[in-house]
Amino acid sequence: MENLINDIDILDRNSTEATETVKTSKEENTGKTKKLYIESYGCQMNFADSEIVTAIMKENGYDTTSEFESADVVFLNTCSIREKAEQTVRNRLNHFNAIKKNKPDMTIGVLGCMAERLKEQLLEEEKMVDMVVGPDAYRDLPKLVETAEDGLKAVNTFLSREETYADISPVRLNSNGVSAFISIMRGCDNMCSFCVVPFTRGRERSRDPHSVVAEAQDLFNKGYREVTLLGQNVDSYKWSDEENNKAWLEKKEKKGEEVAVVNFAHLLEMVAKVSPELRVRFSTSHPKDITDEVLHTMKRYENICKYIHLPAQSGNSRVLDLMNRTYSREWYINRVDAIRDILGEECGISSDMIAGFCTETEEEHKDTITLMDYVKYDFSYMFFYSERPGTLAAKKYEDDIPLETKKKRLQEIIDKQQEISLERNKLDLGKVHKVLIEGTSKRSDEQFQGRNTANKVVIFPRQHFKKGDYVNVLVNDCTAATLFGEAQA
């Protein structure tokens, strides 16, 4: 590991925060006349969106290809949460445009958050793309492709207050056939000062719970054994069968009238009841919203995984206030204590941490380190602060922490997390864990890998087992990132 790095995540998990993971199209030939190539960057919400995009394009005459050179249409589904993520996409666009010089009929489009944020710049000033499409306009893609093919400006970055794509059955890209993502809501109503998501994904709206359950049931029937319910803030999920309208709900509640509302705890239970053989995960939880009701629902159902991604971002209350996180260090600790009290010490907890936010002092940075010592995160996504244009922080605060200081603090956070991850994993030695096999280990074809309920990767000899099996594994060794063991009879 490099001593000073921009960002790191300890294992690639189910966070809806951005990582540097890239997923591309798989090869599919069903006789359609045109080929689609799509790359996805950033968070799991983007990967789930790419599955919706692929479904829409397949319905309109496209097969997918894993080779962009053979594609008629190339989409990059993008992330804007950090400058590095945007620069990665720009580098890819330069590469694709070089290919396009020899294939002028190729259409290049940018989807997602960068499209929303930089539409004029990408399309007109830099002329890097033929089309830009925001995350709420994917139904319009086939028409926009035709517009671009006619040499006209193709753009739709309209942000909807209703769109959830609930009626579209996603095409599972790069699927292991065992685990799948289900988007339960879109957008975000939180206005964290460092974050572009409310500006690029719009206001929060929840998806019909019956469509979520139907999708989970369909996945189970097809052999999938784990689903992850996705949202920028799953704990604020809220749906009324009568009328999914927040103003209407608030009016009814003020009058003291009873309203049949499905909240996140109810939705979790509904999905868990699809089958005891279907594991249920979720991401991401917001510390201000996660309730004891959700925790008790998790405890009640064995197949709801005992793992919570609970981003702290900072361990200092003043910095949290500047970040507009709407909770204090004390509130966050209260929620962690509730998790430990209700679900036990073995429940996995992960976090996001930002080093070097505006005006952060050395003592305030140490508060983040002491919070990590208190919580004992199993793993974290760790970044130094990257100012994003248009955010509240960019408008209100000076990005005044020197880069070298940011990197130094980030490295201290990384070192602390490595220490704690190893400490937490050592607690699993000598214990038997129920593991869902996801596929062959990257280390050896003679080993399988899967995850336990706490979202930890477990590697063990493959023997007679197969992908999708549940296996009891006795853990006998570990690193900071991985558990190793032997399957039990």
Q: Where are the domains of the chain?
A: 18-156, 179-426, 432-487
Q: What is the mean pLDDT of residues 71-80?
A: 90
At residue 89 the predicted structure's pLDDT band, cuts being 50, 70 and 90, is confident
With residue 410 as reference, give the H or E element that holds it.
helix 403-426
Distance CA 156, CA 145 (A): 11
Query: Tell me, what's the pLDDT at 220?
Result: 98
Question: Cα torsion at 472, 298, 283, 390 (round to 10°)?
Answer: -160
What is this structure's pTM?
0.88
User: For residue 8, what pLDDT is reported?
Assistant: 30
DSSP 239-253: EESS---HHHHHHHH
* Surface-to-core class of residue 394, CB atoms within 10 Å of its CB (0-12 exposed, 13-18 middle, 19+ buried): middle
Instruction: Give CA angle at 38 (141, 104), nearest 5°.
Output: 75
Helical ranges in 125-278 per DSSP H: 141-149, 197-201, 209-221, 246-254, 264-272
CA distances from 298 to 131, 217, 264, 387, 431 (A): 43, 19, 11, 36, 21
The identity of residue 358, as a single letter, is: C
Q: Is the pLDDT of residue 259 over 60?
A: no
Q: How far apart are CA 308 and CA 414, in angstroms?
A: 20
pLDDT, mean of residues 418-442: 97
- Cα–Cα distance for residue pair 188/158, rounded to 1 Å: 16
Average pLDDT of the residues in 263-287: 97
Q: Which of 26-30, 349-353, 401-405 has the lowest mean pLDDT?
A: 26-30
Choice among 70-84, 276-290, 374-388 with the minimum mean pLDDT: 70-84
- Residue 25 clears pLDDT 80, i.e. is over it: no
pLDDT at 473: 98
Between CA 123 and CA 77 the distance in angstroms is 15
pLDDT > 80? residue 365: yes
Question: What DSSP character marks residue 68?
Answer: G
Cα–Cα distance for residue pair 265/297, rounded to 1 Å: 6
Q: Are 57 and 171 in contact (CB under 8 A)?
A: no
Kindly tell me if the per-residue pLDDT of 83 is higher than 70.
yes
- The reported pLDDT for the residue numbered 61 is 94
CATH superfamily of 432-487: Nucleic acid-binding proteins (2.40.50.140)
pLDDT level of residue 19 (50, 70, 90 thresholds): very low
How far is Cα 426 from Cα 482, in angstroms, rounded to an integer?
10
Instruction: Report helix, strand or coil for 66.
Output: coil
Residue 432 contacts residue 473 (beta carbons within 8 Å): yes
Q: pLDDT, tens digit, for every residue of 302-331? A: 999 999 999 999 999 999 999 999 999 999
Kindly tell me if the per-residue pLDDT of 17 is higher than 50.
no
State the fold for domain 18-156. Answer: Rossmann fold (3.40.50)
Instruction: Assign 396 a pLDDT band (cuts: 50, 70, 90).
Output: very high
- Give CA angle at 336 (334, 341), nearest 5°: 90
Domain covering 179-426, topology: pyruvate-formate lyase- activating enzyme (3.80.30)
pLDDT(163) > 50: yes
- Is the distance from CB of 154 to CB of 178 less than 8 angstroms? no
End-to-end CA distance of the chain: 38
Instruction: Tell me what pLDDT residue 161 has.
Output: 87
Of the candidates 236, 350, 344, the one whose C-alpha atom is nearest the C-alpha of residue 298 is 344
pLDDT beyond 70 at 256: no
- pLDDT category of residue 200 using cuts at 50, 70 and 90: confident
Arithmetic mean of pLDDT, 156-168: 90
Rounded to the nearest integer, the mean pLDDT of the chain is 89
Q: Does the fold of domain 432-487 match that of domain 18-156? A: no
DSSP state of 27: P
Residues contacting 107, CB < 8 A, separation 6+: 72, 73, 74, 130, 131, 145, 148, 149
Q: What is the pLDDT of residue 16?
A: 40
Q: Higher model confidence: residue 119 or residue 409?
A: 409
Q: What is the mean pLDDT of residues 181-201?
A: 92
The pLDDT assigned to 257 comes to 58
